[in-house]
Amino acid sequence: MRVRHGSGDAGTGQNTILAQIAAHELGVHLADVEVLSMDSEKTPFELGAWSSRGTHMTGSSVGQAAREFAERLRALAAEKLGVAAAEVTLAGGQAVGGDEAVDLGDLVTLSGESLLSHETSYVLEGTEPLSPDKDTANLSPSYAFAAHGVTVEVDRRTGAVRVTDYVAAHDVGTAINPIAVEGQIIGGTAMGIGAALGEELIREGGRIVNDTYLHYALPRNADLPSIRAVIVNGNDKNGPYGAKSVGEMSIIPPGAAIANAVSDAIGVRIRELPITPDKG
């Protein structure tokens, strides 16, 4: 079974989540679902996964397509098994009705087609676009929230800041894939710590002088604390299966959280990132 979508998985685990959704709705094993994306010839057009919209937009459309496709499969199976479509369930790669079952692959032959396919799209509803006569707009059907706590040490002699402990709690609605959500929280937080404490493009005479990872202060493993991710599960009625976004949210709080911790430690409020010893 194949899912084709036009968005892209930029390391967020989106393809795995889409496979989970399709497998759940169609009653097949996760390993039996193949996901194809970003193929201009074989996948439909999609705006992409920017603005942490991958799970919400593409997840909603895949879920909708899978549910509609499941109805077609139940109808075909009902004809084969001699029962009402409402009595057919999809499980384990089979359509089951009464005491009999038929493999989903056999339903393709029954349909008279060489390949059964179904395509749909998801239209974002309930939002308000920006307009010249308004100062605000509701650009998303759901919003994610997070609270980050951090402990730092500041060297009195050098002014160097070291993060010693970090906790990141995220309201993500329902976590469809908790492992992937934790990975997004930890990865985004690590990037946020880098932006807060060292990452900066330095220019001299109009040219960037630290244009390699050798000189750009990207945090390495030894520079990072143990980051504890806390998933605050909920149920957002606007998201697929109650899910909300998580991808970009985790990179936003670290700068403010670390700046607050530094201010508490040394009594100096630094308002510009990165927080380097010369600014203290």
3-state secondary structure 14-34: HHHHHHHHHHHHHCCCHHHCE
CA 221 to chain centroid: 23
CB count, 10 Å around CB of 33?
A: 21
Calculate the dihedral angle through the C-alpha atoms of 256, 235, 120, 249, rounding to the nearest 10 degrees: 10
Structural domains of the chain in order of their starting residue, each with its CATH number: 2-111 (3.30.365.10), 145-279 (3.30.365.10)
Side-chain half-sphere CA neighbours of 188 within 13 A: 27
**Cα–Cα distances in angstroms (integers) from residue 93 to residues 103, 106, 206, in the given order:** 6, 11, 61
Query: Could you tell me which residues come within 8 angstroms of residue 233 by beta carbon, excluding any fewer than 6 positions away?
Result: 172, 173, 174, 175
pLDDT at 124: 76
CA–CA separation, 188 and 249 (whole Å): 8
Contact 188, 248 (CB under 8 A): yes
- Paired sense of beta strands 227-233 and 161-173, if any: parallel
Q: Are 168 and 228 in contact (CB under 8 A)?
A: yes
Structure tokens at 148: 């980050």
What is the per-residue pLDDT for 127?
79
248 is an active site residue: yes
Can the peptide bond before residue 274 be classed as cis, meaning omega within 30 degrees of 0?
yes
Q: What is the pLDDT of residue 270?
A: 93
Q: Quick one: pLDDT at residue 280? A: 64
Local mean pLDDT, 10-residue blocks, the chain (280 residues): 87 91 96 91 81 86 94 93 94 93 89 83 78 84 93 94 97 94 96 95 94 90 94 91 91 97 94 88
CA distance 104 to 110: 10
* Given the residues 100, 128, 248, 272, the one annotated as active site: 248
